[in-house]
């Protein structure tokens, strides 16, 4: 069965991740917990089937590429430049703080300080996948906070590319295997790496910027959706791989640039949608592959050291990040989001740990601690984000009291102020008192400034929804994009108010049926409304031809 190990790994990974993810969801735990557990089960430290340990991380890497590509698609060079003033010093200061804490722990454990440097560096880099998934789930990528977090991640990524090149050169000096580089060798390696990264960025901005949109437009004009999808994938994977092979930058960085350049083309929205399903599947395999590395026995062997490692990742790094962001005079909400986003480690840490062990810089226990720290911090991350959501509600409640004026009288409720909701709100403005529920903090603040009564938060949550005074509502307009979320909102709204007119946004007949069952008075399908609009602009009925004389 050797020749089918790729298939077996994908099937076992996705299959078990599905089963345990569904189970975790049932138990009201984050689905990540299920994915990681699936990995532990197909890993070598638990009995039974063992998935291919070489293939799993490679599949995970495809997930990283597609995720970073997707993020790049929402970024422009201008966005990146706008956050550099905080992201560069922030990431550098945080890496320094985490490395110092790592050195401290290493020395306490009786390792050399060279081991401490590798250990600390490994604890300082956050996992791309964990961070981006968390931001995407909360629709934070395109907010101010999200952009800073992504910029910060990119600086960390670059720092790691440098660290991976410089460690072998510095190994002798740090007390590991000497690879016979003099001081000149180290300076040379440093200069060469910086030069390659600069060459890569220049190449992408000069050549990529012209060629990539051109290819995309040509393919879009063929009218073949299949070819377009293929072009997007080929460019994302090709640029990531090519940039790693030719310029020595990471896959993630290559993919990010490919996305960022594509974002300048007006076809980028379509491109983003084409890679979504693949991206999500491979991101799941990422968590499975991390679970596979985990040896649960380390928790019994070295409980205190594991605890200290987790404390550095989750507490030490967060506190450092928090104060750095606050020192840059950004609001507390931004500081909290950055801290929580970065309070975990992942793929880069394993690569560094592996290199450290092979250079005899890091003892194998160090790698075990890093793996345990990674899996525990990834498990804790959704809990931290849940806590963050609560803290944000408090912070925003302090900024503005919940609206009561409109909610106390008959009024309309609008859920979601995006492309659809905005138009609805403007139309309703002089017709009825209105309360808007909007999840995004920045958008909610804008709305408040524009004079709307706003409840900030995810309307799926009952405590958010009920603040809009549903008992008194005459109309509820549910303009959120996800029919799943809409269904849960409508169900609760109907329970709170049997008489209100509930109008919902849908995409398919199946959505209309589901939303109707949940209690919607009417659900409108975008395409049908467009058709109706077209017909309104169509010629009136032709008068019958005048009789010929």
- The residues binding ligand AMP (CB under 6 A) are 139, 415-421, 437-440, 443, 458-460, 479-481, 485
Residue 176 phi, psi (nearest 5): -105, -160
Give the number of residues written for the chain: 549
> Residues near 205 by Cβ (< 8 Å), separated by ≥ 6?
77, 261
Kindly state the smallest distance separating residue 244's Cβ from ligand AMP, in Å.
Answer: 35
Residue 158 or residue 476: which is nearer to ligand AMP going by CB?
A: 476
Kindly state the smallest distance separating residue 526's Cβ from ligand AMP, in Å.
Answer: 10
Place of tokens 């000069």: 206
Residue 407 or residue 459: which is nearer to ligand AMP going by CB?
A: 459
Kindly state the smallest distance separating residue 276's Cβ from ligand AMP, in Å.
Answer: 15
Three-class DSSP category at 248 = coil
> Residues near 33 by Cβ (< 8 Å), separated by ≥ 6?
20, 24, 379, 382
Kindly state the smallest distance separating residue 141's Cβ from ligand AMP, in Å.
Answer: 12
Kindly state the smallest distance separating residue 513's Cβ from ligand AMP, in Å.
Answer: 21
Residue 296 phi, psi (nearest 5): -60, -25
Kindly state the smallest distance separating residue 343's Cβ from ligand AMP, in Å.
Answer: 24
> Residues near 240 by Cβ (< 8 Å), separated by ≥ 6?
65, 68, 69, 251, 252, 254, 255, 258
Give 3's DSSP letter. G
**Using CA atoms, how far apart are residues 147 and 154, in angstroms rounded to an integer?**
11
494: tokens are 């109907």
Q: What DSSP letter does each residue of 441-488 carry, written as one string?
A: HHHHHHHHHTT-EEEES-TTSHHHHGGG-GGGEEEEEE--S-HHHHHH
Q: What is the 3-state secondary structure (H, E, C) of 150-217?
A: HHHHHHHHHHHHHHHHHHHHHHHHHCCCCCCCCHHHHHHHHHHHHHHHHHHHHHHHHHHHHHHHHHHH
Residue 248 or residue 481: which is nearer to ligand AMP going by CB?
A: 481
Kindly state the smallest distance separating residue 436's Cβ from ligand AMP, in Å.
Answer: 9
User: H/E element holding 437?
Assistant: strand 434-438
**Using CA atoms, how far apart are residues 439 and 459, in angstroms rounded to an integer?**
7
513: tokens are 């049926």
Kindly state the smallest distance separating residue 304's Cβ from ligand AMP, in Å.
Answer: 42
Kindly state the smallest distance separating residue 452's Cβ from ligand AMP, in Å.
Answer: 13
252: tokens are 């993630």
Residue 165 or residue 464: which is nearer to ligand AMP going by CB?
A: 464
**Using CA atoms, how far apart are residues 208 and 265, in angstroms rounded to an integer?**
12
Residue 349 or residue 458: which is nearer to ligand AMP going by CB?
A: 458
Residue 422 or residue 501: which is nearer to ligand AMP going by CB?
A: 422
Residue 365 or residue 446: which is nearer to ligand AMP going by CB?
A: 446
CB 232 within 8 A of CB 277: no
Residue 318 or residue 458: which is nearer to ligand AMP going by CB?
A: 458
- From the list 526, 480, 484, 524, the residue with the least C-alpha distance to 501 is 524
**Using CA atoms, how far apart are residues 318 and 101, in angstroms rounded to an integer?**
12
Residue 120 or residue 421: which is nearer to ligand AMP going by CB?
A: 421
**Using CA atoms, how far apart are residues 185 and 192, in angstroms rounded to an integer?**
10
Residue 437 or residue 493: which is nearer to ligand AMP going by CB?
A: 437
- Of all residues in the shown chain, the one whose CB is closest to ligand AMP is 418
- From the list 376, 356, 375, 352, the residue with the least C-alpha distance to 157 is 352
Kindly state the smallest distance separating residue 459's Cβ from ligand AMP, in Å.
Answer: 4
> Residues near 28 by Cβ (< 8 Å), separated by ≥ 6?
none
Kindly state the smallest distance separating residue 1's Cβ from ligand AMP, in Å.
Answer: 46
487: tokens are 């269904």
CB 95 within 8 A of CB 156: yes
CB 36 within 8 A of CB 78: no
499: tokens are 């008489």
Residue 434 or residue 479: which is nearer to ligand AMP going by CB?
A: 479
Residue 363 or residue 421: which is nearer to ligand AMP going by CB?
A: 421
Residue 186 or residue 466: which is nearer to ligand AMP going by CB?
A: 466
Kindly state the smallest distance separating residue 69's Cβ from ligand AMP, in Å.
Answer: 22
């Amino acid at each position: 069965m050797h020749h089918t190990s790729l298939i077996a790994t994908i099937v076992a990974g996705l299959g078990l991740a599905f089963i345990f993810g569904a189970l975790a969801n049932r138990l009201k735990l984050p689905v990540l917990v299920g994915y990681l557990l699936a990995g532990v089960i197909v890993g070598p430290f638990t009995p039974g089937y063992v998935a291919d340990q070489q293939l799993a991380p490679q599949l995970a890497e495809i997930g990283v590429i597609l995720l970073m590509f997707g993020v790049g698609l929402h970024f422009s060079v201008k966005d990146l430049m706008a956050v550099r003033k905080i992201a560069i010093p922030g990431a550098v200061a945080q890496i320094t703080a985490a490395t110092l804490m790592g050195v401290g722990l290493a020395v306490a454990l009786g390792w050399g300080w060279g081991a401490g440097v590798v250990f600390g560096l490994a604890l300082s880099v956050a996992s791309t996948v964990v961070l981006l998934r968390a931001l995407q789930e909360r629709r934070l990528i395109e907010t101010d906070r999200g952009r800073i977090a992504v910029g910060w991640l990119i600086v960390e990524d670059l720092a790691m590319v440098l660290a991976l090149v410089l460690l072998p050169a510095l190994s002798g000096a740090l007390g590991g295997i000497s690879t016979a580089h003099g001081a000149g060798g180290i300076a040379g390696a440093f200069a060469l790496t910086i030069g390659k990264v600069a060459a890569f960025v220049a190449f992408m901005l000069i050549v990529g910027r012209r060629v990539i949109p051109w290819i995309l437009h040509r393919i879009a004009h063929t009218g073949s959706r299949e070819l377009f999808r293929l072009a997007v994938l080929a460019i994302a994977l090709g640029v990531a791989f090519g940039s790693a092979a030719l310029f020595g930058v990471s896959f993630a960085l290559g993919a990010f640039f490919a996305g960022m350049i594509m974002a300048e083309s007006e076809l980028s929205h379509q491109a983003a949608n084409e890679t979504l399903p693949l991206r999500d599947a491979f991101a799941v395999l990422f968590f499975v592959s991390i679970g596979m590395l985990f040896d649960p026995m380390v928790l019994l062997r070295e409980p205190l050291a594991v605890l200290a490692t987790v404390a550095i990742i989750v507490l030490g790094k967060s506190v450092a990040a928090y104060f750095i962001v606050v020192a840059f005079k950004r609001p507390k909400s931004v500081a909290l989001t950055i801290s929580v986003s970065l309070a975990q480690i992942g793929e880069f840490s394993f690569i560094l740990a592996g290199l450290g062990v092979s250079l005899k810089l890091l003892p194998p226990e160090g790698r075990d601690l890093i793996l345990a720290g990674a899996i525990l911090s990834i498990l804790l991350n959704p809990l931290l984000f849940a806590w963050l959501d609560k803290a944000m509600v408090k912070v925003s409640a302090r900024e503005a009291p919940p609206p009561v004026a409109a909610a106390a009288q008959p009024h309309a409720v609008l859920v979601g102020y995006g492309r659809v909701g905005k138009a609805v709100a403007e139309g309703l403005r002089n017709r009825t008192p209105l309360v808007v529920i909007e999840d995004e903090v920045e958008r909610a603040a804008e709305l408040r400034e524009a004079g709307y009564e706003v409840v900030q938060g995810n309307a799926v949550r009952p405590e958010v929804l009920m603040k809009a005074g549903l008992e008194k509502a005459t109309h509820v307009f549910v303009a959120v994009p996800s029919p799943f979320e809409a269904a849960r909102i409508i169900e609760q709204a109907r329970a709170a108010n049997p008489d209100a007119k509930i109008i919902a946004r849908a995409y398919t007949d199946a959505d209309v049926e589901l939303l109707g069952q949940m209690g919607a008075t009417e659900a409108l399908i975008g395409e049908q409304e467009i058709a109706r609009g077209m017909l309104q602009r169509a010629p009136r009925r032709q008068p019958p031809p005048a009789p010929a004389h």
